[in-house]
A and B are shown apart, each in its own frame.
Chain A
Amino acid sequence: SQQGEEDPQALSIQEGENATMNCSYKTSINNLQWYRQNSGRGLVHLILIRSNEREKHSGRLRVTLDTSKKSSSLLITASRAADTASYFCATPGVGTYKYIFGTGTRLKVLA
């Protein structure tokens, strides 16, 4: 399977704390994307990092990419209850239309 792995599978933190989730993938990539899914509904795109980038920021989100280790991490700083969701990394296959999703991290932020 091309599917990536994410860890932890589940994470529970207090509001205001930082949350870090990791993604490992198997294939060569042009970019890696992170998505959020609330309560089993649609996925929302959070951030895209290209293979020639090592770090990217967007608001309270910080994403790193290590292509030599085929891994990425998503850091959410100063978490809020509204950040409670599942987070997936996605790796579009090179030259294809396939977005392959990682196994996901279920984040719960306690108020």
Chain B
Amino acid sequence: DTEVTQTPKHLVMGMTNKKSLKCEQHMGHRAMYWYKQKAKKPPELMFVYSYEKLSINESVPSRFSPECPNSSLLNLHLHALQPEDSALYLCASSPREGGTEAFFGQGTRLTVV
């Protein structure tokens, strides 16, 4: 199984809503990532988890809250988002630190209204 599975594929939420994005991999990878991508732009790193511990937070606003319940799962909790947070949110995993390929999920298309 070489897949990273993200749910949901699409999400529309209001600015007062609380929602969560989910990501799952069963490749035994020990690093997992959240990226944000706006249209016609490259993915921008948000968070990195290494061995289930938060390793990197790229100064992301607190309305985005990551969680890694176990080595296979990664969540991104969303609360009080702004319309400018609308984007494609990509999850990725890799066996270890950045010396190997990363495997990406298909992303969640988030629209904040």
Binding site for B on A (CB under 8 A): 3, 30-31, 33, 35, 40-45, 48, 88, 90, 92-93, 95-104, 106
Chain B residue total in the interface (Cβ 8 A)? 31
Sample of 5 further A-B pairs with CB below 8 A, known A45-B102, A97-B98, A99-B92? A41-B107, A45-B103, A95-B97, A98-B45, A101-B44
Contact A42 B48 (CB under 8 A): no
Report the nearest B residue to A46, measured CB to CB. B101
Which residues in B have their C-beta under 8 angstroms from that of A95?
97
**B106 contacts partner chain A, Cβ-Cβ < 8 Å:** yes
What mask results when residues 35 to 60 of chain B are scored 1 for a CB within 8 Å of chain A, else 0? Answer: 00101111111001010000110000
What mask results when residues 82 to 113 of chain B are scored 1 for a CB within 8 Å of chain A, else 0? Answer: 00000010101010011111111111010000
Assembled-state Cα–Cα distance A25/B70 (Å) = 34
Report the nearest A residue to B37, measured CB to CB. A40
Assembled-state Cα–Cα distance A12/B3 (Å) = 31
Interface of B is mostly: strand
Contacts A97-B56, A98-B56, A99-B102 given; indicate if A43 touches B97 (C-beta within 8 A). Answer: no
Contact B104 A98 (CB under 8 A): no
Q: How far is the CB of A62 from chain B (nearest CB, A)?
A: 18
Which residues in A have their C-beta under 8 angstroms from that of B41?
103-104
**B31 contacts partner chain A, Cβ-Cβ < 8 Å:** yes
Contacts A97-B55, A97-B56, A101-B42 given; indicate if A41 touches B97 (C-beta within 8 A). Answer: no
Contact A42 B107 (CB under 8 A): yes
Q: How far is the CB of A43 from chain B (nearest CB, A)?
A: 4
